[in-house]
Amino acid sequence: MFAALLALVPLVLWTSCTGGPGAEPGGPPADPKAKRPLDAAFEWQARVLCDTQALPGFEAGGRKIPEKDSPCIVVVPKAGEDPAELLKEAAAVAAGERGIMAYWAAPDVATDEAARKAGVAGITGAVAPHVGAAIPVDIRPALLFVNHGGFIRFAHLPGSAWDGELFRFEARELAYEAAKAKGGLRIEVRRITPAPSKEFKGALYCGACHRGMFRDWLLTPHSIALDDLVAISRDQDAECIGCHVVGWEKGGYSDREKHRPLADVQCESCHVPERTHSPTNPMSLKKDDYVQMCVKCHTQKFSFFQDPGMAMKYVSHPQRAAAEFDPKVDYDMRPTAIGSIKDQMYAEVCGKTDYVGSSKCLECHKQAHEQWSGTPHSQAFAALEREGKAEDPKCLPCHTTGHGQKKGFQNAKDTPDFKGVGCESCHGPGLKHIEAKNDAERLSTIFAFDQKCPTCVVTRICQSCHDEHKRPCIQKGEAPFNLNDFIKKVRHR
């Protein structure tokens, strides 16, 4: 059944917006798949927080870096830029915490010489281009905070979590973890608790201390909320954008070029800034309080769920941890992990009732049924038969109705009414719909496309199959799925 569910909800990968910043005035829109510097910066920082990355070893000042049980800050300068100010910043932060050293890892001899000429006390380094080899050149310089075990705990990049206060938080975390590892129960190292702020900081800022929760969020659909809009060129739509970013028209996100760290539904979308770390208004609210926040965006029009409270277990940190939703994945497996969650969410909705077959729809929707009969959807299973793949498990989920679900397609002989992409492939299982007593109940038990958001519901349903990452049969050079173009071929008239 799980294999069948993987075909139900799309995976939305890292992309960037079309048009807007980055597009030539009056010219063609920017490549939607072109990664901008701040996109790359956020992705690299998120990768560091999601994975466990060891700092590549190098020698500096007669020491082998990283040293065992010795946390450090490593500056990766950008070639051709004066590193003096960055070295001063790193040295000052390291000096503020006992036991933390500071180094630079220069990409070339010229940058190393410039670092030495700067004469900054409290920091030394060497030519070590391999240390920053994984960091794209256009997002450097970087400050890498390395823990006592030699792993990069956090990465700071210009324009993305580049904040002196955050540097100090992170340095204190390194010192705290090192002392704790040594069993220092009476140590004087204490964590720093940020003061409440009305400014939006972004999830990377929270991740400095709440690494586990950041990783947890990173594996939810909330973390790719803006990408859902980008995928269908709606990321500039004022009707949509406010529910897909942090702090829209409230001093937060206004543009992806300027505010990439605030894109998507992040920590502060639920834990609003003025409440964060406030003893009188704590972050940990009751479930009902959070649901009241959820329904501002997750209305019936914009959600699969009739009751947003049903979705809490997919995004609530304690509930997700208890249910063990997150597999042991690295950053590269993130799209699959998010897709799995979406599959579970959609399966929960569809599992509330049974499939009945398109012939049942004919009784009330004769015109729509006739129109559907003339579309490629109705002949989807016949296409498999012509190719000799009528029993191929990789193909059946997208060429049948309700494959693997209750009362859905089982095989061509026993469930012939479920061959092809039938009504319920798009509108959901129909038993409750046909049993409904009134129009309001009928609408609440089916996905009526004219009642649902094209972005939040319709596109996701279509892309459950019309997605290059889920279609082993996709033809080379085939145009990517575009809702506006494809819907014309199947829309009921």
CB 265 within 8 A of CB 492: no
The answer to whether residue 405 sits within a structural domain is: yes
pLDDT for the residue numbered 20: 30
pLDDT for the residue numbered 15: 26
Rounded distance between C-alpha atoms, residue 449 and residue 396, angstroms: 24
The answer to whether residue 36 sits within a structural domain is: no
Identity at 83, one-letter amino acid code: P
Q: Does pLDDT of 331 surpass 90?
A: no
User: Cα angle at 261 between 255 and 267, to 5 degrees?
Assistant: 115
Q: Does pLDDT of 191 surpass 70?
A: no
Whole-model pTM: value is: 0.78
pLDDT tens for 428-440 read: 899 999 998 888 8
Same domain, 175 and 239: no
Q: Does pLDDT of 335 surpass 70?
A: yes
The answer to whether residue 417 sits within a structural domain is: yes
Tokens, residue 6: 């993987």
What are the backbone dihedrals phi and psi of residue 289, each rounded to the nearest 5 degrees, phi first?
-65, -40
Same domain, 282 and 171: no
Q: What is the DSSP string of 62-96?
A: TEEESPTT--EEEEEPPTTS--HHHHHHHHHHHHT
Which of 119, 149, 181 is at the close of a domain? 181
Same domain, 216 and 143: no
Burial 87-122 (b: 16+ CB within 10 A, else e): bebbbbbbeebebbbbbbbbbeeebbebbbebebee
Residue 146's CATH number: 3.40.30.10
Q: Does pLDDT of 279 surpass 70?
A: no
The answer to whether residue 342 sits within a structural domain is: no
Same domain, 157 and 282: no
Same domain, 486 and 366: yes
pLDDT for the residue numbered 444: 77
Question: What is the average per-residue pLDDT within 259-271?
Answer: 87
pLDDT for the residue numbered 130: 95
pLDDT for the residue numbered 489: 78
The residue range of the domain holding 207 is 199-332
- State the total domains in the chain: 3
Q: Which residue has the higher pLDDT, 341 or 413?
A: 413
Which of 181, 209, 226 is at the close of a domain? 181
Question: What is the average per-residue pLDDT within 19-34?
Answer: 34
Residue 36 CA: distances (Å) to CA of 16, 231, 256, 413 = 7, 16, 9, 52
pLDDT for the residue numbered 66: 94
The answer to whether residue 11 sits within a structural domain is: no
The answer to whether residue 161 sits within a structural domain is: yes
Tokens, residue 148: 């006592």
Question: What is the average per-residue pLDDT within 98-118?
Answer: 95
pLDDT band at 266 (very low <50, low <70, confident <90, very high): very high
pLDDT for the residue numbered 477: 66
Residue 405's CATH number: 1.10.1130.10
Q: What is the mean pLDDT of the chain?
A: 80
The answer to whether residue 411 sits within a structural domain is: yes
pLDDT for the residue numbered 252: 86
Half-sphere exposure of residue 141, counting CA atoms within 13 Å on the CB side?
Answer: 23
pLDDT for the residue numbered 196: 66
Identity at 128, one-letter amino acid code: A
